[in-house]
Amino acid sequence: MDSIPTWLLFASLGLLIVLSGFFSSSETGLISLNRYRLRHLADEGHAGARRANRLLQRPDRLIGVILLGNNFVNILASSVATIIAMRLMGQAGIAVATGLLTLVILIFAEVTPKTLAALHPERIAFPASWVLGPLLRVLYPLVWVVNAISNNLLRLLGVSPESSGDQPLSREELRTVVNEAGAMIPQRHQRMLLSILDLEKVTVEDIMIPRNEMVGIDLEESWEAILERISRSHHTRLPVSEGGAENIIGILHLRNLAHRLAAGDLDPESLRKLVRAPYFVPEATPLHTQMLNFQRERRRIGLVVDEYGDIRGLVTLEDILEEIVGEFTTDPGETMQEVHPQEDGSFLVEGSAYVRDLNRLMQWELPTDGPKTLNGLILEHMETIPEPGTSFRLAGYPVEIVHVGTSAVRTVKIMPDLRRPPE
């Protein structure tokens, strides 16, 4: 050692500190990589991403080779620093070298490179994988011995070192990923993605058209009344009944009778032949399941039934799609006749309005885990039928009761601009 020039020892010490910084930044960079982005880049053919992905398949081996290299260069750097200090200051230089080297390694080989790697993991991890891959193959026998000992200790603690620790994202974690996407995903697309995640929590009962609001054809009506209803219908598919909505015999697609109407040879018997057998849907079916059922059955409309087989309402494929993309019209007044805007910015809302429709169309945040209608929500909140003029806050929205019927709230005034988020 005495024959080695001091300048060469300083150069060696500097190189060792650089190597220590390399191992420290490589560890942080590889561990900080976004695993889903890494897999995407690897599937796209990115060479650095593929190498990094292979290294991360066994994190125990990766950490083993990094720590072997890091500890080796740190210990060697400490020895070189001690030799330099003894040459320059004698025995007293040992303590000085220890303090200075600790500070230098902390700043230049730990904090700075690790912070850089945490902020820009791909810039560090991908180039580092060029070195760590071959280094792992060269040092594999030593890494294997170290890992064999440490892995047995982990097994004693109930940890399996073979598993990479990757876990599928839960629904709530996916919601967080979408919400934090920021400008990478347009806000409207974020809402659509979140709506898709919520399809499993929403049932057919939540979005169905109630039986008393269904528009259809009753074959027991006069032929003139039936033709009038067909000509004025805004829907392309109508339920067909005999003697009321509780006795629906099928669904009629108006397109199938257009040519007969034009030719003037449509009569009750030929209309009956065009009726397709009804498709029944249990009211508790989740929307994501029902959407797949519509696709499998090649249907676009279904009759919702309860556990006793009684018809509760009607659901269409368009209703489910609107839960994802929102209403197909941008004017709430065109789609919700129960909402009446006022000059002061408030809204007169009928108690029969559905809570989910209000939230979707008006961008409100009324609770949806309870009653389906605004009237039901108010009665649940008040636990009694309120008097006209009663004012209170519902989910933070100022609400005033305007009109009350015998057993239900008919009209309320909601002032969304004065909303205070509930505590």
pLDDT in tens, 67-115: 899 999 999 988 888 888 888 887 777 888 888 888 988 898 889 999 9
Q: How many CB atoms lie within 10 A of CB 327?
A: 14
Q: Phi and psi (nearest 5°) for 266?
A: -85, 130
- The per-residue pLDDT for 162 is 62
- Start-to-end CA distance of the chain, whole Å, equals 72
- The per-residue pLDDT for 332 is 46
User: What is the second-level CATH architecture of the domain 204-325?
Assistant: Roll (3.10)
- The per-residue pLDDT for 2 is 62
- The per-residue pLDDT for 206 is 86
Give the model's confidence band at 289: pLDDT under 50 very low, under 70 low, under 90 confident, else very high: very high
Give the model's confidence band at 331: pLDDT under 50 very low, under 70 low, under 90 confident, else very high: very low
Say what percent of the chain tops pLDDT 90: 27
Asked whether residue 168 carries a pLDDT value surpassing 90, the answer given is: no
**Residue 414 β-bridge partners:** 347, 399
Q: Which of 354, 316, 328 is nearest to 238 (CA)?
A: 316
Taking only the tens place, the pLDDT of each residue in 398-416 is: 999 999 988 899 999 999 8
Of the two residues 246 and 373, the one the predictor is more confident about is 373
Give the model's confidence band at 163: pLDDT under 50 very low, under 70 low, under 90 confident, else very high: low
DSSP string across 58-111: SHHHHHHHHHHHHHHHHHHHHHHHHHHHHHHHGGGHHHHHHHHHHHHIIIIIII
Taking only the tens place, the pLDDT of each residue in 248-273 is: 999 998 888 877 777 777 888 888 88
Give the model's confidence band at 117: pLDDT under 50 very low, under 70 low, under 90 confident, else very high: very high
Please state, in angstroms and rounded to a whole number, the distance separating the CA atoms of residues 391 and 16: 74
Taking only the tens place, the pLDDT of each residue in 29-46 is: 998 888 878 888 888 888
Which of the residue ranges 170-179, 234-243, 402-411 would you say has the lowest mean pLDDT?
170-179
Asked whether residue 330 carries a pLDDT value surpassing 50, the answer given is: no
- The per-residue pLDDT for 165 is 52
Question: What rounded mean pLDDT belongs to the chain?
Answer: 85
Structure tokens at 365: 């945040």
Which of the residue ranges 37-41, 171-175, 353-357 would you say has the lowest mean pLDDT?
171-175
- Topology (CATH) of 339-418: 3.30.465
Q: Taking the domains of the chain in order of start, what are their residue ranges?
A: 6-157, 204-325, 339-418
Give the model's confidence band at 279: pLDDT under 50 very low, under 70 low, under 90 confident, else very high: very high
Please state, in angstroms and rounded to a whole number, the distance separating the CA atoms of residues 18 and 109: 7
Give the mean pLDDT of 58-65: 86
Alpha helix stretches (DSSP H) within 139-208: 140-156, 171-179, 187-198, 204-207
Say what percent of the chain tops pLDDT 70: 94
Q: How many CB atoms lie within 10 A of CB 299?
A: 17
Give the model's confidence band at 200: pLDDT under 50 very low, under 70 low, under 90 confident, else very high: confident
Of the two residues 422 and 17, the one the predictor is more confident about is 17
Say if residues 293 and 285 touch (Cβ distance below 8 Å): yes
Which pTM value belongs to this model?
A: 0.58
